[in-house]
Structure 1
């Protein structure tokens, strides 16, 4: 009965109800658009970084002696998803040759890899006799995946030129995001053998050994587990004396943008929302004062105090829900216009203003909660109207 009375009163004063709902929508719609812009812009920029496997990559840039304990400690950090040691830069080059084209060798950068390498997504674990070669290098060599390839490195020892030649196989193609120049990814034993050969400690007939003993390395390449971990890892490695290269500055800028937009949203939402809730509460209070005689008559007819308390609450809930629905419809229309206007200019092919059904439900829930709080005082005022006033003013 209370619900029927509350809705009947809203129908009777439908102009006032419509104005209240429009007022709610006028405050809420810009907030939904702002939140959608924050979600669209920040999510788009974050997705672009996440799609680039090098965004989470941190590479040591200066050759130095890193003991096995240091490397093990870095790899054991829960913020590190993948790490592989690397040899000295001067020993990390190799000549690839197509066996069917003798004399047409191509010098490429030799990069370490391992199981779960983010730079090589979708590739299974490569064996020690396999190389993952960049597309440009494969094109120049005239090779395809599965073809045989000869990998060689030369040294001069005692005035004699010696060559280490390893029969290998093309195990896959490295994506352009993994290698911007001619390069080949190999397992760590291949890089260790190349370094040992150039140092003179390995013979020309040596082959990669899977059982590598613990040894120092000149550097490493790691990938953070989360994008948010990149700035902290970069800073901590530098403080420990290890010079690294990463996109920590770009990631930190994105995180600052996210925080600043969140503060901006909270400030605007707080100011606008507080103003609307105050106006809603004042309007409901005014309605109670205007309808004191009607409320007193209802109380005189047997309507309990709880029923009188519920009427302003139910009416506030109806205004909030109607306003939230109208606000989301307006925000969706604005978002469509913004997405068409900024298509392909800010976040690629992603929407610049991202609205979801969950956001609509959340907006309605917050608005409903705020409206009920604002209506509580009016409800208490209505419940306090003595029944005698219905007779006194009769």
Structure 2
């Protein structure tokens, strides 16, 4: 049986080589349909991935903060942190208590104001930077530039109350500088106890000489929160969930929804174009193979007469279609790769994709998927021609035997 299959494979390929013009036309037809589709998919993929990466790489995109001060207790933060779509949550102070003054010990009088933000392990705004503990701090890039400090430096933090008649002073160690993409304003990321120490002092609950150990973290009511979602797609979900709880928030949900809508629209466009192109080519290939079987009834009946079975003869057009699909997909992949390289060298790329990302992104699995779909589609289109070939009887070739 293996000999028969090998013979059928040999005959099918020899027939393709014998009718070179028809074979080249079939391969060219497939490549002409498939190459633009691969390029279109690469453009869609590059555009969407570029936009998505731009949003993902900006950690503020996945940030959700309350827009108005109100009371948030421990239970609220526990529920928020327990959500599977939330990776980090931290309390925020009232606007009046969220600012402190900072200066370098060697430059007294050169004071800069910065916003106090609670941070901790896993804070997306800090990324790989160490999270501040105790009297440590991570500065935003803008504030670090104003103070001319870097990691390892020492800063003096001052908070005041009673019209600046009472001042609390703390010496902080800078353990990192957050990039501008994380936080554009002047800010200092500190541990939650340190932020609460400043808050309690400004509210008159503790003395100026109090320390972090004097601060109670549990059992408090916070004016606000800062949360970060796990994925980009989670931002609109969390936005909706909080608004349903009458919590007004500021998010990038509109931008995320716009990106997701664009992705769906481009996917639909690609599917429609791919379907139209594929149907047109497969019908053309199927009709061509069927006509080829009709034209070669005498030769096929002779093959049946010398001992080939129905299933062997059925394989002839199917193997030819698979060969055309494979070669056509290879040609289309080569054309698409060359076209992609040309598109990515156009000046438009720098205006469209920030960070040097490719405008047209074609990955190896895209080409493998296109080849697999082409071969399967071609085999399916050849199935009708194969059934017609199997229906040819050996007796039809007796007159030529």
Does the 8 A contact of 2:130 with 2:176 survive in 1? Answer: no
Residue 296 of structure 1 and its aligned partner are, at CA, apart by 0.4
2 CA distance for matches of 1:298 and 1:311? Answer: 11
Residue 138 of structure 1 and its aligned partner are, at CA, apart by 3.0
Does the 8 A contact of 1:166 with 1:207 survive in 2? Answer: no
2 CA distance for matches of 1:213 and 1:354? Answer: 50
Give the corresponding residue for 2:4.
none
Does the 8 A contact of 2:74 with 2:218 survive in 1? Answer: no
Does the 8 A contact of 1:86 with 1:188 survive in 2? Answer: no
Cα RMSD between the aligned structures?
Answer: 1.5
2 CA distance for matches of 1:26 and 1:183? Answer: 56
Give the corresponding residue for 2:20.
14
Question: CA 1:27–1:138 in 2, change beyond 3 Å: closer, same or farther?
Answer: closer
TM-score in terms of structure 2 length: 0.94
Give the corresponding residue for 1:76.
82
Q: Is 2:388 the partner of 1:362? A: no
- SS across alignment from 2:352: coil
Q: Is 2:255 the partner of 1:250? A: yes
Give the corresponding residue for 1:89.
95
2 CA distance for matches of 1:98 and 1:168? Answer: 10
- SS across alignment from 1:96: strand
Write the deviation string for residues 349-378 of structure 1: whole angstroms up to 9, x where unpaired: 111111122111110100100111111111
Task: Map 1:90-105 to 2 at 5 A.
Answer: 90-105=96-111
Structure 1 spans left out of the alignment, 5+ residues: none
Write the deviation string for residues 203-229 of structure 1: whole angstroms up to 9, x where unpaired: 111112376223221111111100111
Structure 1 stretch displaced more, 116-125 or 366-375: 116-125
Give the corresponding residue for 1:295.
300
Structure 2 spans left out of the alignment, 5+ residues: 1-6
Give the corresponding residue for 2:385.
378
1 CA distance for matches of 2:349 and 2:198? Answer: 50
Moved over 4 A (4+): none
Does the 8 A contact of 1:36 with 1:354 survive in 2? Answer: yes
Q: Is 2:190 the partner of 1:186? A: yes
Does the 8 A contact of 1:56 with 1:227 survive in 2? Answer: yes
Write the deviation string for residues 303-340 of structure 1: whole angstroms up to 9, x where unpaired: 11111011111000011111111111111222122111
Aligned length: 392
Does the 8 A contact of 1:339 with 1:351 survive in 2? Answer: yes
- SS across alignment from 2:110: coil
Q: Is 2:219 the partner of 1:199? A: no
Give the corresponding residue for 1:164.
168
1 CA distance for matches of 2:327 and 2:113? Answer: 69
- SS across alignment from 1:278: helix
Write the deviation string for residues 34-67 of structure 1: whole angstroms up to 9, x where unpaired: 1111111001111111111111111112100012
TM-score in terms of structure 1 length: 0.96
Write the deviation string for residues 225-255 of structure 1: whole angstroms up to 9, x where unpaired: 0011111111221221111111111111111
Question: CA 1:5–1:143 in 2, change beyond 3 Å: closer, same or farther?
Answer: closer
